[in-house]
Amino acid sequence: MSALFNAYQNGGVIAYPTEAVFGLGCDPENAQAIKKLLTIKKRPAEKGLILLAGDFKQLLPYLNISQLSQAQIKTILCRWPNSITQVLPAKPGVSPLLTGAFNSIAVRITNHPDVVALCQATKRPIVSTSANLTGQLPAKTWQQVQVQLADKVDFILKSVTLGYSKPSQIINGLTGDILRQ
């Protein structure tokens, strides 16, 4: 885990398992690392990215919870940890590299032990997008990541996903409307 932590701390892009697929991620506070990730992925910055966290507290610097009622917060929290990504109001000043062209941000609390351990070690969430070049199928194993992206990423965590059959569902966290099945 120390090599993974070092790559993250030094602005590297890492590949790691999530619930169903491998993700590419980096430190959400490192603009250069985010730009590197977007370049590797060939992903337009306007689309925004997901933040994965080990607990809700790690997401608070990025969320504008003043726009949420206590009932909404309770409903949001009841959906996690799970393979549900929720789009929530972003705090003013959150990097547009994370939010894209939106005033919201996609976030998820995961129960994948490797991701939780990294988030606990860094005391913050990790940027997440599927480990693949835009337009290609997401990698489901570290071996697939190695074939497609080994020369582009700084570290590949040789572990396994939680075995879910499809990537996380994305919903509007305030309304429950499904944005991606």
Q: Yes or no: say if 128 and 25 are a contact pair by the CB < 8 Å rule.
A: yes
CATH classification of 2-180, choosing from 3.90.870.10, 3.20.20.120, 3.40.50.300, 3.90.1640.10? 3.90.870.10
Q: How far apart are CA 143 and CA 162, in angstroms?
A: 16
Domain segments of the chain: what residues?
A: 2-180
pLDDT at 136: 87
Angle at 97 between CA 169 and CA 128, to 5 degrees: 35
Distance CA 90, CA 25 (A): 19
Instruction: Give the amino acid at 6.
Output: N
Nearest to 94 by CA among 75, 84, 107, 112: 107
pLDDT at 11: 96
> What angle separates helix 113-122 from helix 2-9, to the nearest 10 degrees?
50
Global pTM reads 0.94
Measure Cα distances from 71 to 62, 90, 108, 159 in Å: 20, 18, 18, 37
The closest alpha carbon to 48, from 93, 101, 107, belongs to 101
pLDDT at 69: 94
Per-residue pLDDT for the chain (181 aa), expressed as one digit of tens each? 688 889 999 999 999 999 999 999 999 999 999 999 999 999 999 999 999 999 999 999 999 999 999 999 999 999 999 889 999 999 999 999 999 999 999 999 999 999 999 999 999 999 999 999 878 899 999 999 999 999 999 999 999 999 998 888 999 999 999 998 7
**Is the separation of the CB atoms in 26 and 11 below 8 Å?**
yes
**In contact, 52 and 124? CB cutoff 8 Å:** no
| Structure-token pair, residue 117 | 């351990």
Cα(first)–Cα(last) distance of the chain, in Å? 32
pLDDT at residue 134, as a whole number: 77
Q: Where do we find the tokens 């009932």?
A: 71
